Amino acid sequence: MSNESRVPVEERLYLPAPGEESDVELMPAGDVTEGVVRVGGTIRRPHQPQSFAVADYLDWLEDAGFDATPRFLGRDAEGRDVLTFVSGKCAGAEPEVWVQSEELLESVARLTRSLHEASEGFVPAAHPFPPRPVRQDPPELVCHLDVTPQNIVVRKGVAVGLVDFDLAGPSTALKDAFNTAMHWVPLRDPADAWPGWEGTDPFRRLRIFADAYGWTTDERRRLHAVGIDAVRLSYERMEHNARTLGGGWKRMWDDGVGGLIERRALWLDAHSERLLDCLIDRALRES
């Protein structure tokens, strides 16, 4: 469906199919957004300030041929956003051992790259994304910015879907890719390892991700600086949101996410050379 023939996102109303309301499932609560349910073949989510911007973005991705995201269908009688349900398996809040699969890691990197390629040219003109707290990212590309194991849909061991666009907005592809690697490698202090993940090699996994995504040599050289800036900005925004918005943001802050972010920054700094070694062969580094 072309943009010309679509009903504008703010005017779309969703009419449930007969019997749909008899098939309802409460979905796992996210860090911030609660009250998400599956109703038949749809997902119902509380409407938010960025909802129409996200809806326009999803329309763009559909037109670009990117088929891994839900489609925005409109708002229901309760005012909730209605999207298509992407079936498959997602990780739990503490990712299970099966999430360590290197084949899955490669597919996540490729899916993230495909998303960025499909996003090229999208300008959120009709419904701009709300400004970020603290300071804005460079508006090079609208990105997902929260490609965590909980937001990737997996079938037969491969990433096939990407959901929960609550944090989407203008940023850079490299920051979004770093953020994805940060969650999937993962890049964090070993003290914060998930149960069963203590023996994973973050340097091997980062190289797998980098090669599968296709980072250039220049991007690999800049990754540490981009990552440190992203982590520090995340701390500032999390603290700001916990103080001003409360809710899930305050809960995460009270649970110690600030300390985890600080430990991550220290770990990245302490291993900057080793991270570069794993990303760039020494012969290239010295050339």
Q: What is the DSSP letter of 46?
A: -
The residue among 179, 279, 285 whose CA lies nearest residue 226 is: 179
pTM above 0.85, yes or no: yes
pLDDT tens-digit series, residues 98-123:
999 999 999 999 999 999 999 999 99
Q: What is the pLDDT of residues 205-260, one digit of tens each?
A: 999 999 999 999 999 999 999 999 999 999 999 898 899 988 888 888 999 999 99
Residue 138: both structure tokens together? 């460079």
pLDDT at residue 31 in the model: 59
Where the chain has pLDDT below 70, the residues are 1-4, 29-33, 282-287
Task: For domain 97-285, give the CATH number.
Answer: 3.90.1200.10
Token pair of 124, please? 């959120």
Query: How far apart are alpha carbons 146 and 230 in whole angstroms?
Result: 12
Residue 137 Rama label (left phi>0; alpha psi -120 to 50; beta): beta
Give me the pLDDT at residue 78, please: 93
Q: What is the Cα gyration radius of the chain?
A: 19
114 CB contacts (<8 Å, ≥6 apart)?
66, 68
* Amino acid found at 220: R
Question: Dihedral (C-alpha) 192, 195, 200, 205: value to the nearest 10 degrees?
Answer: -70
Confidence (pLDDT) at 285: 56
CA distances from 128 to 49, 142, 191, 195, 219 (A): 10, 11, 39, 40, 28
CA 82 to chain centroid, in Å, comes to: 19
